[in-house]
Amino acid sequence: MLAASGYNKEFRPGAANDYAHQSSDQVTIGAKPFDNEELTAEAFGKKADLLKYGVLPVLVVVENKRPKALDLREIEVNLVGADGRHVGAVNPEDIPYLGTRAKRPSQVPLPVPLPKRKNPLNAPEIVTRAFAAKMLPPGDSASGFFYFEARPEVGDKIYLNGLRDARSGEEILYFEFPLAQ
């Protein structure tokens, strides 16, 4: 269902294996770049044209088929270009300040004056749809977007590490796979 702002309030990601994916130790990671205007409008609305501002959203789905919980607090996701360049994910709360002259406010006492112009990168869906899971119980899945200051390129890959066994703290093998299926 499309709302007045043009985004799908009922946006539901698929299973990890519906996208480019890799499995290891009963964990499957799937990822899909939202690399065209139609896809970004579906998830974030027509006004939040992230690609126009050089922000590439990548949906990541983590499925835990292990009998133990996963600790995702130290998860790190990088976009790797065909030439080997690594680009780290941008904090979703910093997206409105990319490509603008606006500076992220420092700790300022409230009330903070509201900006006079509407920033298209200040859509609440950017933060609410970001990957935020910290723990993943056995048999469960988590999904959300990671944002990269990059243009989509043929040969892009996702590199993900920092998944740990919640009880032992042992790191799960890293994942690296191409974004194209």
Global confidence as pTM: 0.85
Instruction: Assess if residue 2 is contained within a domain.
Output: no
Task: Let me know if residue 1 belongs to a domain.
Answer: no
What pLDDT was estimated at residue 98?
Answer: 81
Low-confidence ranges of the chain (pLDDT < 50): 1-8, 102, 107-116
Res 113: pLDDT:
46
Tell whether 9 is covered by a domain. no
Q: Amino acid identity, residue 177?
A: F
Domain that holds residue 34: 16-178
Within-domain flag for 11: no
Per the domain annotation, does 26 fall within a domain?
Answer: yes
Residue 7 lies in a domain: no
Give the model's pLDDT for residue 99: 60
Q: Is 17 helix (H, G, I), strand (E, B) or coil?
A: helix
Residue 54 · residue 130 · CB < 8 Å: no
6 falls within a domain: no
Residue 4 lies in a domain: no
DSSP annotation of 19 reads: S
CB 17 within 8 A of CB 59: no
pLDDT score for 92: 94
Give residue-wise pLDDT tens across range 54-91: 999 999 999 999 999 999 999 999 999 989 999 999 99
Supply the CATH number for residue 76's domain.
Answer: 2.60.40.1230
Count up the domains in the chain and report the number.
Answer: 1
